[in-house]
Structure 1
Amino acid sequence: MTADQSSPRANDHNPSHYVHEVSPPPARYGQNGVATPILIPDIPNGAHWNREPSLELSAIQIYEALIQQIASGASLQTVMAGAVDNIRQHLGVDRVLIGRWRDPSVSRPANALSMDAEPSPQSHQCQDVEPGGNMLIEAESLSVAYLPTLGKRQTLPWLCADYAFYAQGNIEVIHDVEAVMLSALQQLWFDALQVKSSATIPLISRQHLYGVLVVQQCKCQRCWALEEVELLKRLAMQLAIAIEQDALHQQVHHLTTQLNASLTERISHLRQSLKFAELVRHVTERIRDSLDEEHILETATRELAKALEVDRCKIELYDATLETATVAYEYAIRPPNCMGLKRCMADFPELYESLFQHQPVQFVVPASSNLQLGDMTRLACPIFDDQGLVGNLWLFRPRDEVFHRWEVRIIQQIANECAIAIRQARLYEASQAQVRELERLSQLKDDFLKTISHELRTPLSSIILGVQTLEKVLDQFLETSIRAALNTQNERTIRRLFQTLHTECHRESKLIEDLLTFCYLEAGTDALMPVSIDLNQWINDKLAPFQLRIQNQQQHLVVDLMDNLPPLKTELAYLERIFSELLNNACKYTPQGETIAIATSIIYPNR
């Protein structure tokens, strides 16, 4: 064998220390030597082989007990505690412990070599040692006479350097710690624990190093039998599997916890989204169902303030020139009241520049500012639609609270709905104003028609009276001397003129009467009084005045009246006006030689 004599890993002149390596690693402590595999050495003087006949039976019992605990689903701590107890009892050693690296890259001061709350007396000798690895003793079984290390976090620099050594599956067996060359720190640790012999086996599963199984003899030196080493290797393999399973269980538990937390958070977000979607729907329905702008502003501010639990909510509206903004409505749980407050946009150019670009703005104004409401978190969301800006929706919270992104989205949605509702309310108000104006003009027209109708009736009555008087006077003269001076042709002409005057006066009177009737009908003040008539007889009576006119215009009149017509219930005055107007138009627009036809019949509905 060739090895550096200073290397504690391989020393062919000292059979008290051997290394069983999967592949030869470089020497850890030598300058130029290379450690080589060493098989079981000769038995040193004074050492004891532990080759009892029951070793094989004990190995089977330890192995079966360990497998049974793993299979039963016992906790990792229970498995490790039971394993170290069984190993110590069956092998008759003084200490068995399981150490696990938490993070081999973590560095801690070398003076942490002492065991947390119970430092060893020699720990002060290591204050100048370089930082090393961090290992936690998670399971230990020992005789009562020796210093315990269970639950202690050991800082072992040489183990940090040996991490790669053990990760390759190598084990280290020391028969006599006094007969081998150890590092200062390793020697210090062995001295503190009164170790005489030691065996260190890595806990490896799937090429991952989880820790080491350390078996130590303290009362005397011990020669470790190959069978014992093989047993420890098999036990270490099972312990590594148990640790790996526990790590997987913890990982699954951690992932399950994360998944549950994520699911809970997602459900919470969904519930929150549903809650605020319901809020948007509720507010939208209430403001869109209203065409009153004041009611819209009141509903939006009140519902939004209550849902988001804010101190104050208000809506300011721009004027037509977009130069000033006036607080149109405000909901607040405490004074002051800002209703009617006007603000000139030129005084806050940065704020309104963002709002004019349809961007919400959140900011905090210090209490020292000259604003009426200082030292509060403010959020301003623009109210706009495709026709332009309408105003802004303002919300206020205490200084240490902010409006979250999802809240801003909800507020902006309600601001958009407010813009639509306000536009609709204003359009409705404008249309109502137009309707009122049309009604006013219509009333003026009706008043004018009534007035002019009454004014026309007075002179017309005078004309009719004058014509009647003149006709009577003329009749008296015709009975005396004037009659002899007139021939028959002139008398007929005079009679025809008087007849025309009577007819046109009567016609003008009817037109004035119709105009008054139309005014009353539009106003709804003329009550209908229907009567039952024989339609055929009524038509024959009303045709008599038109017979001469039709003959004079060389027109033909055809009357076809259905027999046995049922009585007709109608407003007689209105029917007379309609019939007269139709017949007048027929006489007026029918050419000479053409026919004017009048017929009656029964029209049955749904036929």
Structure 2
Amino acid sequence: MQARVSRSKPEPQEVMGWVMDSLNSREDVLLIQSDCVSSLSSHPVESTVSHPLPSQPSHILLEVAAARQLIQVASIASPETALSEVAKILSQTFGAEGCVISVQASATVAEQLAYWFADSQSEAWLTDVAPHHEAIATVALDKPVLLTPELQRREGLSGAVMSVAAQCQGQTNIVISVLRSPLSDIEAAVGYYWTEAEANTLRNIADHIAVAVSQVLLQQRVYRQTQYQALLRQVTSSIQNSTELPQVSQLAIRGTAQALQTERAFLLRLKYWDPRQSLRIADRIPPKARVMIDCQWQHASLEGLKAPEPSEPLSSQSFWASECMICQTALNGTEKFFAFSNKSAFPLPTETTGIAPIFDPDIMASLMLIPLESKNRLLGFIALQQRQPRTWLQEEIELVELVAAQVSSAILQTETLRQVEMLVEERTAQLQQSLELQAKLYEITRKQIEKLREMNQRMDEFLSTLSHELRTPLTSMMLAIRMLREADLPPDRRQQYLNILEQQCVQETSLINDLLALQELETKQVAFQFQQVNLSPAINDLVQSFHQRWSLKGLRLEIDLPKRSLTFNTDVASFNRILLELLTNAGKYADPNSTVFLQVSPQPGQQIQVMLSNIGSGISEEELPHIFDKFRRCQGITQNAIAGTGLGLALVKSLVQHLNGTIAASSLPVKGSQSYETCFTILLPQNLEIGE
């Protein structure tokens, strides 16, 4: 839809200002022959109501001079001031105080109203004539003749108005009105009128005026097209130079508004609840979309204009499209533009749907709305507004459509770039995560490989130790068996070999039993056998055998038990095996004639602490974390050829874990000695059921 309105008219002071400024630079062009001007510019003082025309030759000369001046000024004057200068020539030609030229609106020409007045005293004529000029122009267009006194009296004009119509571009759409004020009180009382001869002169040069006006309109159109092309080049250049979208939008909105001389412009973006609803489809249910004011521009003359409700800045406003009849009309249609020339052309609000404050027709009487589209997707709108009714020209609509296409391209380019950047960021993040995962996997693999190497090394050591521990007793047993087969072997020697054979069998059996016990503990195949144990008698019974065994080495065993009888619920066999292995280990590595300390004490949290320490060979810091590994023996111990399989401490740790306890070891040097104090600390739950 398109409604057409008139372009807003300037105020009298504004017209006088810019017209008089432009005339000063062209005074040499606008001089009219003095004899012709003086013949029509003098007014008789007598109480006559007519003015005689000059003789026929002077009349013809006047018309020729006026025509020449009109063509000349139309050729060299600027498009902005040319019509006013034409009005000045006509005023000077007829000796009038002022002239008004009206160009009626058409599909390609906007309505224009140009003024010129001789001096500041005649400015009142602008206020007097302007409200009536529409009626005057209507009469002149209908019958281009001299205005009758009746019309002047009906319109309430005190001076004389002479109007004539002329054709431009095949249509009678130009009205020229020459204005003259009365020179005496008598003329003011009885009325002052132009003569028929003066009207004939104006009719005779009407064609020349039409040619001049047509040339001015053509220059204006060329000037506008130049402005339009410059604007399009600027917008295109900014897009090609990858300018940010807000700057491109502001440039497009400001440039379009200034090129079309509108008072306010917006760039509206649509944010859809469902992006799939952005496709333009006629006669559908309006999509749920939010209208966002992306950027705006307004003329300085609107600074004092009362802002529509709500009172916050327009750029911060947004509203639902379903709440505005104009937005619903635009969303439901597939038209390329929506133009409203006056208030009556706006869609009528309903009980449920009104008009958004930024489109209020009481404030802005004309509106042009151009969709922003990309592949049939509706992205938003460019809105141009004017306070006065205005007819939107086809070339103006085409310009805004081209600008809208450029802005749509910029929006699509920005969205595509943003999507690409998001995709790149996502892929980069995924790649980073993949690299981090690969690094973790590499580290895990490296550790697994190191662990496998360590396990292989330990397996080799295990097999080597196991082979040694198995072969050594077997070798002794084989030797003893061979010696026993000798027939002449004395009885005492026979008994000796039988003892060796028995000891080696016991050692072999013990080794195999330890391996089987470790296997069962590691696979958690050992069942608990709970029993209430009185701690002091159990420990005293266990350590009696070590007093006799350690006497040859001079070792002493000191026991520190709680004064109060302490009982706890545990697996007695496992507990006894732990103490047995620790005492055996302490006896092996303690210095001769030293003391082994065994301390048992209750701890907070229903726990029992068992500490066993001895003075003797130390354990290095590097070897300390590995002393509970199977077949792991310290280097000094191996070099000193201390007997052992390396399974004792591994079995102790497995048994402690089996009882839900913990074990720790330390080895610190003793001051003033080369020996170390090695201490094993065990924490066991007092009630194994609670410990579980």
Scaled by the length of structure 1, the TM-score of the pair is 0.39
Whose relative contact order is higher, 1 or 2, with alpha carbons under 8 Å and at least 6 apart?
A: 2
Scaled by the length of structure 2, the TM-score of the pair is 0.34
